[in-house]
A = this chain, B = another copy of it.
């Protein structure tokens, strides 16, 4: 007979679903509370998403930006980590339903399940235009970029060769800008001398943005700088440009078509199915509408945080789907639960504090917006690098990533140019026109 796990223990059970920035921060905020914390994630690793594009562009290895969750929480004796797939929440019986494993009972629940790419109702584009959320997405995109060059080297037909060497990035936010800049570096520098039949420097890299300018979250001057820096690196930036279709051989735009070998989706996100699990009200992007203390209306014992929740600052602007917001929410809810269970006074409503925006465009080019302070160029790039090294977890990874960046900066190389797990139909071929 199946039981419900942990129902017999005496301490309050806090269950956290999702070990992203929000979930982990909540778990840590509960480290001194007299509770049992159970962190459930379908992956065994926490992914440092701000550097995921560097895995997709062969600069870092997956293991440098993805760390075992249970290792990160090993010293926290009140925390248990389970690798399992959550398929629902029974808010009446207060338990989390797992796929093919016993349900987990909770007294307090934190849902921190994040977001995934949104194709604005065209999920059929996903196959042709992968997005970048998980480690597997990053290795898939890396494979596609590197295979583009490999196939072009085998190809005799000039038009097909040019198609294979065309890379389209859909979405001009931070991820899109960073991807475009990195692919330009690969083509113009890293691979420049590695081929004999093709010249990788002739690759065409196109960044598509539906709005009037790239990096719309930034002030105009930084946005302009980003566009100039991209142009200098040979990236074609097309603004006010809508994608009407994606297929395996290219993208259709509201004005014309671009044949492409690789399409990368960096355009939109949609929240995880948390709203569905909880039967909760949500906005158009699927984000759960939460109360000022981030709890679910009618369920003070259930909290939704990070990209899964719709949260606004005092001016009514939505908190962007970035690590700092998720961490702030995780810390807030962890402390609130600790205070509630200890009978202490509860904290005031959650208020999102925006720390700034930053994106790197390439070697010695980045944009940083800290409100009054705007940084760009080499200084911006240095600031960006230091901030990301600082937020990496553990000395080991700080050192390895710093070493790798320094090495690559000096040599123009990228150390993780691996093509693995190639599906049979994707093997390089000169005659394959699918």
A residues touching B (Cβ–Cβ < 8 Å)?
2-3, 42-45, 61-64, 66, 68, 70-71, 74, 79-85, 99-102, 135-136, 139, 146, 150, 153-154, 156, 193-197, 396-397, 399-400, 403-404, 407, 411, 413, 415-421, 427-432
Contact = CB atoms under 8 A, between A and B. Distances in A.
A411 B394 CA distance: 12
Contacts of A421: 136, 421
A9 to B, nearest CB: 12
B417 A68 contact: yes
B99 A43 contact: no
Nearest to A138: B420
19 contacts: A2-B431, A43-B419, A44-B150, A61-B63, A62-B418, A63-B415, A66-B418, A74-B193, A80-B197, A83-B153, A83-B428, A99-B429, A100-B431, A102-B430, A136-B420, A397-B415, A400-B403, A400-B404, A421-B421
Given A102-B430, A156-B102, A431-B101, A417 B193 contact: no
B194 A70 contact: yes
Contacts of A136: 420-421
Contacts of A415: 63, 396-397, 400
A414 B397 CA distance: 12
A232 to B, nearest CB: 26
Given A82-B154, A84-B154, A100-B427, A418 B70 contact: no
Nearest to A397: B415
A48 to B, nearest CB: 13
A139 to B, nearest CB: 7
B83 A154 contact: yes
Contact of A403 (B82, B146, B399, B419): B399
A102 B153 CA distance: 12
Contact of A417 (B71, B396, B427, B432): B71
B430 A101 contact: yes
A271 B424 CA distance: 22
Nearest to A196: B80
A153 B44 CA distance: 12
Given A400-B403, A418-B44, A101 B139 contact: no
Contacts of A404: 400
A168 to B, nearest CB: 22
B418 A100 contact: no
A84 B197 CA distance: 15
B400 A194 contact: no
A101 B196 contact: no
A99 B63 contact: no
B100 A42 contact: no
Nearest to A80: B196
B420 A135 contact: yes
A426 B390 CA distance: 36
Nearest to A79: B196
A98 to B, nearest CB: 8
A260 to B, nearest CB: 20
Nearest to A430: B101
Contacts of A196: 79-81
Nearest to A432: B100
Contact of A430 (B64, B100, B399): B100
Contacts of A44: 146, 150, 417-419
